[in-house]
Chains A and B, each alone.
Chain A
């Protein structure tokens, strides 16, 4: 490698100065800076993508709000764009929240239970099989889960409970299953990050394994576990294919999970399926809905990240 000074001939001082600056060593430095800048440009894609979402959604939502007053959108209780020209998004928000809360009630306890089993009770060999199997479950495309809900779970709920053909419970159960691997894997990571000595100390003082878990490991891992919960809730809120195929398209306020409902995600997917004329109010409305969905899930993910950081600060 030639890294010697290149200015060895008897040229006038100024030229020599320039040559000295252009020695391979400084060329090398320019290269290094170029590489670093290029990598930096790749890294700011994360910010650019977020800004692009905001820009596209806000600009379309702005035009939408020229046609439909924000008061009607945010406070209206009827969503019926085509028949009644009604754009009240509350029934859709209700549907999304209902699915997210229901799926969390199913998925969070199951996920945490599975995590605890893998952490404390599973023999090493079972653990080595369990983790990848849960990962396989996590990798099943959601359109497959949606088909499963439509073909198998739906009819069972109809026969057993007299549910509607499309019903909220169906989506709740299947999305609940969907978030189990996420919670199990991340909560198990959080528990494993708690110093083993804390648990062993509790056992040495005469605790049972359950008592060591409940009084030492789980409290110590709590912020990490809650981080995984928030991530899962955000996932449940944004999941689209399963609600499209299982929970129906009837915007309504109901507490009855056996009825057909509609979520924000369903509206976005179904509305765009029907070849909307660009610029029509219906077309613009899905961007306003997308903005709401983005804002809620962003807040949830940010909360999760905050909890996760606090957890790592304590243990790493």
Chain B
């Protein structure tokens, strides 16, 4: 190592420390920069009818998110209904049953790569498979089936991490008492891993409620005048509704979009904070 003066080394240290701090500040600054102006513009337009009215392309002051909210509830509910059993099951298999086999390696590889596939690609899969090939049309069920492979890898990975954190001794004790493998997993390991699995499930819900592109691709549209009543109805999820209004350059629609985004962000933040707090408490206990 080239000898350098202590002064210069200290100086470099300080300069770089500032740079690193700057990077954090930029990231956090960006968070506030994004949220603050939208929320400030949106808050004056937060009125009860925004939650209860139907959308409108002519009267922004009377337009509401009723269709969007009900659509998103259906969509997220169905997506979790499909993806949770599959994702948790796959996580249990990979962590508890598959061992170190070559097959397990392949499965793990596919899960990891699926997590990196862009969401718009899942949208095309949904369009080609569910909407066209199975002729569902752009309905809630097709939307949920489109989002299922999208959130699946996240649930698998969260489940695996939760199971990995359960101590080996718990399994050994259960097996030594004569319990079978599944009894051990079902009655000992899974309950111990529940908070971790739940955190993964909540993050999956947050992803599902925030996805826009795949739903646009399968044909969810933003001028729907009725509240969907079942999985085979057309739908306009929240982010798609927000996107539709965002494209309208009229000032009143700008305000309407900001107000809708404020509601949307509050919902998403509440979901994420639940997951973060849950995980924090769970980790501290461990």
Contacts and interface: CB of A to CB of B under 8 A. Distances in A.
Contacts of B10: 208
Contacts of B24: 113-114, 117-118, 122, 130
Contact of A143 (B31, B123, B153, B243): B243
A141 interface: yes
Contacts of A304: 116
A146 interface: yes
Interface string B237-279: 0010011001000000010010001001100110011001000
B23 A53 contact: no
Contact of A137 (B16, B30, B98): B30
Contacts of B51: none
A45 B152 contact: yes
A278 B133 CA distance: 11
A314 interface: no
B217 interface: yes
A208 B9 contact: yes
B213 interface: yes
A301 B111 CA distance: 11
Given A53-B117, A139-B272, A269-B216, A43 B149 contact: no
Interface of B: 9-10, 12-13, 16-17, 19-24, 26-28, 30-31, 33-35, 37-38, 85-90, 92-94, 97-98, 106-107, 109-125, 127-129, 132-133, 149, 152-153, 156, 180-182, 206, 209-213, 216-219, 239, 242-243, 246, 254, 257, 261, 264-265, 268-269, 272-273, 276, 280
Contacts of A101: none
A234 B18 CA distance: 29
Interface of B is mostly: helix
Contact of A211 (B9, B20, B35, B206): B9
A190 B273 CA distance: 25
B13 A210 contact: yes
Given A43-B89, A56-B133, A113-B22, A238 B121 contact: yes
B129 A56 contact: yes
Interface in A257-276: 265, 268-269, 272-273, 275
Interface of A: 28, 31-32, 35-36, 38-47, 49-50, 52-53, 56-57, 60, 109-114, 116-118, 120-122, 130, 132-137, 139-148, 150-152, 177, 180-181, 184, 208-211, 231, 234-235, 237-241, 244-245, 265, 268-269, 272-273, 275, 278, 286-287, 290, 293-294, 297-298, 300-302, 304-305
A47 B105 CA distance: 12
Given A42-B93, A43-B93, A116-B20, A28 B180 contact: yes
Among A122, A130, A273, residue most surrounded by chain B Cβ atoms (within 10 Å) = A273
Interface of A is mostly: helix
Nearest to B30: A177
B272 A231 contact: no
A136 B246 contact: no
Nearest to A214: B16
Nearest to B185: A35
Nearest to A109: B23
Nearest to B180: A32
A108 to B, nearest CB: 11
A151 B33 CA distance: 12
A135 B119 contact: no
Nearest to B242: A143
Contacts of B38: 144, 147-148, 151
Contacts of B122: 53
A265 B123 CA distance: 11
B149 A49 contact: yes
Contacts of A269: 120, 123, 213, 216-217
Contacts of A286: 124
Given A117-B20, A146-B246, A240-B119, A53 B213 contact: no
Contact of A294 (B26, B97, B117, B246): B117
B118 A241 contact: no
Contacts of B269: 136, 139
B112, B113, B122: which has the most chain A beta carbons within 10 Å?
Answer: B113
Nearest to B37: A152
A37 to B, nearest CB: 10
A294 B125 CA distance: 11
Contacts of A32: 180-182
B212 to A, nearest CB: 4
Q: Which 3 A-B pairs have the closest CB atoms?
A: A238-B118, A113-B23, A301-B116
Contacts of A273: 216
A43 B90 contact: yes
Contacts of A122: 24
A241 B213 CA distance: 6
A143 B9 contact: no
Contacts of B90: 39, 42-43, 45-46
B27 A134 contact: yes
A298 B115 CA distance: 10
A135 B20 CA distance: 18
Nearest to A141: B210
Contact of A141 (B98, B181, B268): B268
Contact of A241 (B88, B94, B243): B243
A143 B239 contact: yes
